[in-house]
């Protein structure tokens, strides 16, 4: 397991680990080289080595905008240049400081910091243990003020905020905002959009949640959601390997694998009709919501949706037509 010795993102609210034996898998399982050039969104395997930097530090580098109002993107680009365009292990941005930790050709962590118009080297206790590397300039850093405001609205404090880019779990690099003292961590995609908590009753959130766990419409064994577990799916990724994808609360999609057989027949998740699901949930729930699972356990032509609503069990087809009487 790849770990950062320091500076890691809190993982509170992480979905429970699946039953043994398990293997943690990444949402994007590419394993990049430590010697890339910038030819793709992730550092690539086997690319030409960039030269290590030989600048005389400290150096002066003034910016015309505050860090959180456009300046950070300029500073990060300069720090990346000073580092010799090395792949990054970690990036921290506050209202007055930027720290970039990169991986040098000897696979050692090397730190650079900008503060008050000065770029200098920075001590770091980060160690490279195989964690995912990334290009720091591939993240939306031109409006950190908005990211901080969104994070404050969704659960963090508005004081002592730190935007961090770092590996969240093996293979997954995200932006996040943390605070001191610690509050809830809020996660963001590369483009600055936030991972918000999804409900289990609206058409838009049902559609987004199912999309998040079905991996671009690949065949699945089952799809489900409820207020406690969030959204989840299971799919075969090998003859005896089942992958489970979970999107819980405001966390990015979590992926795990286990060795097991399944009697269920895979189906196309794009057949699921989010408006039909929302309408059926609305007609059966008195406000507590429903636990929903979609699979072909009844061995019909199409999968069946099973609803647990307020202690009662109902069934429908993918278009929302009631099948409860037929399947009892």
Predicted model pTM:
0.78
Maximum mean pLDDT: which of 93-97, 177-181, 310-314: 93-97
Per residue in 15-29, pLDDT tens?
443 333 333 333 333
- Tell me which residue of 112, 118, 74 sits closest to 92, measured CA to CA: 112
pLDDT, residue 222, reads 97
In the predicted structure, residue 324 carries a pLDDT above the cut 60: yes
Beta bridge partners of 113: 99, 120
Contact present, 98 and 51 (Cβ < 8 Å): no
- Tell me which residue of 172, 162, 321 sits closest to 247, measured CA to CA: 172
- Residue 15 vs residue 134, higher pLDDT: 134
Per residue in 59-91, pLDDT tens?
999 999 999 999 999 999 999 999 999 999 999
Each domain of the chain, given as residue ranges in start order, spans 34-188, 203-327
**Which whole number is the average pLDDT over 134-152?**
96
- Tell me which residue of 257, 259, 269 sits closest to 293, measured CA to CA: 269
Per the prediction, the chain carries an average pLDDT of 85
11-15, 94-98, 121-125, 198-202: least confidently modelled range: 11-15
pLDDT, residue 14, reads 42
- Residue 55 pLDDT grade (very low, low, confident, very high; cuts 50, 70, 90): low
pLDDT, residue 52, reads 55
Strand runs labelled E in the chain? 22-25, 59-60, 88-93, 97-103, 109-115, 118-122, 161-169, 172-179, 186-188, 222-226, 230-238, 241-247, 254-259, 290-295, 304-309, 312-316
- Residue 287 pLDDT grade (very low, low, confident, very high; cuts 50, 70, 90): confident
pLDDT, residue 208, reads 95
Its sign, for the CA torsion 40, 41, 47, 49, is positive
- Tell me which residue of 193, 206, 202, 186 sits closest to 251, measured CA to CA: 186
pLDDT, residue 258, reads 94
Distance CA 108, CA 49 (A): 15
In the predicted structure, residue 97 carries a pLDDT above the cut 70: yes
**Which whole number is the average pLDDT over 143-166?**
91
pLDDT, residue 28, reads 35
pLDDT, residue 11, reads 39
Contact present, 89 and 132 (Cβ < 8 Å): no
In the predicted structure, residue 31 carries a pLDDT above the cut 80: no
- Residue 169 vs residue 5, higher pLDDT: 169
Distance CA 46, CA 39 (A): 12
- Residue 286 pLDDT grade (very low, low, confident, very high; cuts 50, 70, 90): confident
Per residue in 182-209, pLDDT tens?
788 999 999 999 999 999 999 999 999 9
pLDDT, residue 215, reads 79
- Tell me which residue of 76, 118, 110 sits closest to 93, measured CA to CA: 76
């Amino acid at each position: 397991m790849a770990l950062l010795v320091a500076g890691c993102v809190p993982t509170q609210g992480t979905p429970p680990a699946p039953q043994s034996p398990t293997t943690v898998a990444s949402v994007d399982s590419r394993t990049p080289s430590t010697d890339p050039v910038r030819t793709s969104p992730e550092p690539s395997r086997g690319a030409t080595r960039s030269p290590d930097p030989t600048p005389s530090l400290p150096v002066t580098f003034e910016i015309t905008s505050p860090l959180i109002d456009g300046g950070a993107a300029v500073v990060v680009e300069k720090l990346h240049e000073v580092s010799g365009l090395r792949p990054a292990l970690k990036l921290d941005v506050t209202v007055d400081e930027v720290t970039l930790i990169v991986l040098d050709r000897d696979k050692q962590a090397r730190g650079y910091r900008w503060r008050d118009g000065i770029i200098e080297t920075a001590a770091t206790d980060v160690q490279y243990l195989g964690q995912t590397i990334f290009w720091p300039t591939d993240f939306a850093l031109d409006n950190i003020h908005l990211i901080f405001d969104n994070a404050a609205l969704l659960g963090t404090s508005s004081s002592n905020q730190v935007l961090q880019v770092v590996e969240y779990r093996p293979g997954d690099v995200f932006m996040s905002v943390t605070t001191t003292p610690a509050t809830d961590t809020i996660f963001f995609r590369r483009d600055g959009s936030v991972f918000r908590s999804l409900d289990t009753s609206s058409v838009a959130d049902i559609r987004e949640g199912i999309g998040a766990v079905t991996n671009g419409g690949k065949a699945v064994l089952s799809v489900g959601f409820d207020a406690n577990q969030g959204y989840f799916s299971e799919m075969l990724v090998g003859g005896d390997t089942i992958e489970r994808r979970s999107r819980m609360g405001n966390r990015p999609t979590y992926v795990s694998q286990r060795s097991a057989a399944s009697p269920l027949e895979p189906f196309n998740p794009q057949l699921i009709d989010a408006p039909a699901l929302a309408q059926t949930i609305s007609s059966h729930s008195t406000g507590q919501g429903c636990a929903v699972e979609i699979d072909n356990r009844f061995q019909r032509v199409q999968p069946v949706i099973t609803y647990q609503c307020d202690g009662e069990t109902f069934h429908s087809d993918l278009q929302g037509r009631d099948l409860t009487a037929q399947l009892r």
